[in-house]
Amino acid sequence: QQQVKQSPQSLIVQKGGISIINCAYENTAFDYFPWYQQFPGKGPALLIAIRPDVSEKKEGRFTISFNKSAKQFSLHIMDSQPGDSATYFCAASMGAQKLVFGQGTRLTINP
Amino acid sequence: GAVVSQHPSWVICKSGTSVKIECRSLDFQATTMFWYRQFPKQSLMLMATSNEGSKATYEQGVEKDKFLINHASLTLSTLTVTSAHPEDSSFYICSAQITGIGEQFFGPGTRLTVL
C-alpha cells in the first residue's frame, strides 16, 4: 500500500515532442506528490509538485496532471529538449513524512 | 534558496575504515533530514529519518550500528559508515525538509567506494 508504481522505465522522445511519465499509488492518505529530476552523478532536484486539491499544475514546460479517483498522476514535458534527458522520479508522502519514490524513468530526448 | 550541501562529494576508503558524510542546509533550518542510498540505475532507498536533537529512525533492514546518524543542529546531519566494506559502496544522498513544510530538498550526493 506504500508503493508508488512508475512507468515507463525508459522513454525516448524526439526533440520538440511531449514526454509523458505516469505514476499510480494505493494509499489514499498521500497528500503531496512531487516530481524530481536527476542527472547522472547528481542528487535529485525538485521539479514540480502537486497536492490533491487541484487536478493540474503547470510550471513552464512541465505539467502535473492529477486524477484523485484513479489514484494516478503524471508528468508532461512539453517541447522536450535534449537538456531534459535525465531520470525522473515521482514520489508521494503523507504530510511532512517520508517520501515514497517510484522506480524512475530514464528519459532520452533525441535531437 | 533551499540549498543543501554534502561533503565530501566522493570518497575512496579501505575496507574496515569508517567514513563520515556531512549534510548541511545552507539557507534554511531543517528539523528533519533524510538519508538515502542509491545503487546504479535504481531508485532512492530511504535509510533513515533524522530529527534534530533526537535519535534517528531507521528503515527496516538498515543496520543502525553500521550507519550512525547524528543531527546535532538544525542545519547539520552526519552519516558515519562504520567498518565499511565493498558492499557499502554506493551513492549516498541526504535531503532536508523545511520545518513544517513537506518539500524535501536534496544534496548533490556522496559517492562512496570501498576497496
Predicted confidence (pLDDT) per residue in A18-65, tens digit: 999 999 999 999 999 999 999 999 999 999 999 999 999 999 999 999
pLDDT digits (tens, 9 = 90+) for B43-85: 999 999 998 888 899 999 999 999 999 998 889 999 999 999 9
pLDDT digits (tens, 9 = 90+) for B86-114: 999 999 999 999 876 778 899 999 999 99
pLDDT digits (tens, 9 = 90+) for A75-95: 999 999 999 999 999 999 987
Q: What is the mean pLDDT of residues A6-14?
A: 98
pLDDT at B3: 93
Phi, psi (rounded to 5 degrees) for B56? -75, 155
Nearest to residue B34, comparing CAs of A5, A36, A29, A66?
Answer: A36
The residue among A90, A93, A98 with the most chain B CBs within 10 A of its CB, best to mutate, is A98
A vs B: CB pairs below 8 A? 49
Distance of CA A105 to the CA centre of its chain: 9
Assess whether pLDDT exceeds 70 at residue A1. Answer: no
Query: What's chain B look like in SS3?
Result: CCCEEEECCEEEECCCCCEEEEEEECCCCEEEEEEEEECCCCCCEEEEEEECCCCCEECCCCCCCCEEEEEEECCEEEEEECCCCHHHCEEEEEEEEECCCCCEEECCCEEEEEC
d(CA A62, CA B108): 22
Interchain contact, A98 vs B102, CB within 8 Å: no
Chain B nearest C-alpha distance from A30 (Å): 11
C-alpha cell at A23: 505514476
Q: Which residues of A touch B41 (CB under 8 A)?
A: 106
pLDDT at B52: 86
pLDDT at B53: 83
pLDDT at B31: 86
For B52-61, the CB contacts below 8 A with 24+ separation are none
3-state secondary structure of A36: strand
pLDDT digits (tens, 9 = 90+) for B25-44: 999 888 899 999 999 999 99
pLDDT at B33: 94
Interchain contact, B109 vs A89, CB within 8 Å: no
Enumerate residues 6+ apart whose C-beta is below 8 A from B90: B37, B38, B39, B112
